[in-house]
Structure 1
Amino acid sequence: MTTSVIPGPIDPPARLLMGPGPISAYPSVLRAMSAPLVGQYDPFMTAAMAETQELYRQVWATRNEATVLVDGTSRAGIEAAITSLVRPGDRVLVPIFGRFGHLLAEIAERAMAEVHTIETEWGQVFTPSAVEEAIVRVQPTLLALVQGDTSTTMNQPLGEIGEICRRHGVLFYSDATASLGGNDFEADAWGLDAATAGLQKCLGGPSGSSPITLSDRAVEVITSRKKVEAGIREPGDPSAPDFVRSNYFDLGMILDYWGPRRLNHHTEATSMLYGARECARVLLLEGRQQVIDRHRLAGDAMLAGVQGLGLEVFGDISHKMTNVVAVYIPEGVPGDAARQAMLDDFGIEIGTSFGPLHGKVWRIGTMGYNARKDAVLTTLAALEAVLRRFGASVPVGGGVDAAADLYAGK
């Protein structure tokens, strides 16, 4: 019999997470998550759930009653939305301008949809006319479109898409995982029927809870589908086209759980609820537009800083997300080794990339708690030092000075 070694308590090293996410959480979010647990039907718990719903209505800029959390990472919210809105055989149109468009297409395929895609070059976005042309041609039930895709750092304009979808009778869903809280998002004004996000980007929390908002039109589709739960609801035919094939991600049952009847579906992830509530509370306390402006300022400063170091920025800067920038790795610099040096020597994490950009760019984020001046300047100073160590010729103080000048000018 072998003797196992019991590890010590969790004691993570100090890190400044300046990649495309996850990011360093707001300290108050971590404190909220350490609060004592209560029962799922305790009056405190149900009140906290109702408070969280109202907070996220303000974050999403919506009056949607159906604004809740899906327990799980941001991908859980995506899967819940698509699985619950799409019936087998429905046509789904996915415009793809980065990795996460491919994810939406895959999830729709798993929901047994007839998936149609259009693609544009990585680093670009779609024009409304290109989206409308595809809608007219495909005649989908659902348009699924990423807003901010961190794989390319591009922010897809959504302002005109909702009206196009409404005119053609198409449901409009957007994945705002990487963009909500740090970029403009107007769920009602833009005509969104469904939108999902995660906490681990601009909202400044840990991964593990997915805010979602649903229009009345989306709720009508969801609630018209069969709900089946062994021993509780009437059994149905799993092969029927209106049968949601996931129990956990059945939004009809999740809405019943969050609604006035509080019908049991799962045990709410209490600590994640506390964290999600605090993410929204902190954002609204600072001011929704003020937080977006802070992200824009930090993103502009980081952009100026990497350009001040002579690095080439990837993609169409006019459509760049506020909260992440991609730069080409200088010739002769080993990208992975340089990233590791940033982590080992400075405790700073920046991101690599994948797909056609694998090994070609670094992605540097400025989001949530880290969308602030000291984090931007510290990252740029460390990046300059590492670039020099690996033989790159960069202007002395070029990054820090450019970013500091931008901050001073604001």
Structure 2
Amino acid sequence: MATVEKRGKCYRITVAAGIDLNGKQIRHRLNWTPDEKLTPRQVEKELNRQIARFEEQVKTGSIAAEGNIRFADFAERYMADYGRPNLKPTTLANYQRNLVRINQAIGHIRLKDLTTFHIQAFYRNLQESGIRSREVATCKVDLMELIGNQRGAMTAFSDRAKVSRATVKQAIDGKPINRASADSIAAALGQKTTKLFEVTPHGEPLAPATIRSYHRTISSILEKAVKWHCIPTNPAEGAELPSMTGHKARYLDEPDTKRMLQLLQAEPIKWRAPIIFDLLSGLRRAELLGLRWQDIDLDTGVVHIVQTSNYVSGAGVYVGTPKTEDSDRYLKVSQTAILILLEYKLFFWSIRHGRMICGRRSGTPGREPQRMTAFLQTR
């Protein structure tokens, strides 16, 4: 026989399931929150349905004792038993990163006690100002003078500081960089960070897309808890997510595209080819870097998107499958795209064989291929 206790907007349904080995009564609980749009009569009808359903699940043993496990502990089991064997490395890395903040908020709550309101409160907290508590640093000295103006000085300093060359250039130009990078630059110069940089807090709410990423992590874990009969329903399903209204994707308009193509004409083919081909084909970055010559029919202009090349911090570069089943596809590209590939292929062939192009030796055999991009290399 079930008992029902109303707690605010939530109903707690308790069903007894016998006595355990220690003589203690086993109780299973379900927290159910009705939709605010339901009338009192509809709430009563749905509550009775939830009670009957929960009693049946307890009776048949489909509600496991694992419902008493904390969310953080179940998430760890999920990652070990399902995540690592089945998720793509990029997805796995995102889940691991998201779980740090998720566990701080709801990790202590038992699965059977976790409600939509807990999850909703977490999402609301992520939208508050100051949640992204980090510091940014803006250089207040002539950093280029400290690094040196000689050829290759910036690259050498970047390697010594273990900071990307782009970040060093950003600091030199007086643009803000993150505090960790500023600390590394200052340490490489033997200076205190505050002597070289103006450090300021940079608190802002998380973007809607980031909050939705947290939701995907929580929902995926709880959906598996339902499938493994730890809880009857997924409380994340009813959570309200922030709207993506007003979010605009960044893209090149026609004048910008023409200008970029003009500037590319002065660049070597090894850089010009991947950028122009990506512009003409519309491939995702990972799809572009995953292309192989064997995936391209130069006679018909058909490209087979069959693999991707991705990077995960700590794991390095790995070859994977396209994002979705529909992403594994055949794509017809223009004659212009094929011509740029042929020019690139000729360049690559000439480098390997040390041949002359336009009266000049194309490069040093055996060395240039290591400096070329990963685009369309033999793998």
The normalised TM-score by structure 1 is 0.22
**TM superposition score normalised by structure 2:** 0.23
**Structure ranking higher on relative contact order (CA contacts 8 Å, 6+ apart):** 1
